[in-house]
Amino acid sequence: MSDNQTADEEKTSRGIGDEFSTLGQNLSDLLRAAWDNPERKHIQEEIEGGLNDFANLLKSEADSFSESPTGQRLKSDISEINERLRNAETRNLIRGEVLHVMQKANSELRNIIDTFSVSAEDKNSEEDQ
């Protein structure tokens, strides 16, 4: 009986393996057929054309904006901000503020951690009693 059972198990294993192989081939054929489908190609061309039109429109609008008085003012403002950031005094001020914020955040996190630690210790001592 065990010989028959082993033969049946091998047959079933081969059958499952064959079915997985067939499934893989069928999925591959499905993807290939979908990819080669003329409708997919048509949709792809429409999407590519739309994206190209959109990119051209964005470029045109960006060029127009950069030449406009508002665009020129924005460029000037950005240049001014860059100059300020290059200034050593401003950099030191920013570093000090960032350091202060980070220290405050770490202090608050430590307080939260301590609160959780105390709560855990209280819970453990209650369980011990």
Tens digit of pLDDT for each residue in 59-105? Answer: 999 999 989 999 899 999 999 888 877 777 777 888 899 999 999 99
Helix ranges (H only) for 37-128 are 38-67, 69-86, 88-128
Inter-residue contact 104 to 96 (CB < 8 Å): no
100 domain-assigned: yes
Q: How far is CA 109 from CA 97, 112, 116, 117, 127, in A?
A: 18, 5, 11, 12, 27
What is the number of domains present in the chain?
A: 2
* Residue 72 belongs to a domain: no
Tell whether 32 is covered by a domain.
yes
User: Would residue 74 count as lying in a domain?
Assistant: no
What average pLDDT score do residues 19-35 get?
90
Does 56 reside within a domain? no
pLDDT at 1 over 60: no
Asked if residue 55 belongs to a domain, the reply is no
Which range marks the domain in which residue 123 is found?
A: 88-129
Residue type, 32: R
In a domain, 76, yes or no: no
Task: Give the pLDDT score at 82.
Answer: 80
| pLDDT > 60? residue 53 | yes
Task: Report yes or no on whether pTM surpasses 0.75.
Answer: no
Q: Looking at the domain assignment, is residue 53 inside a domain?
A: no
Chain mean pLDDT for the chain: 85
Predicted local distance difference test score (pLDDT) of residue 100: 94
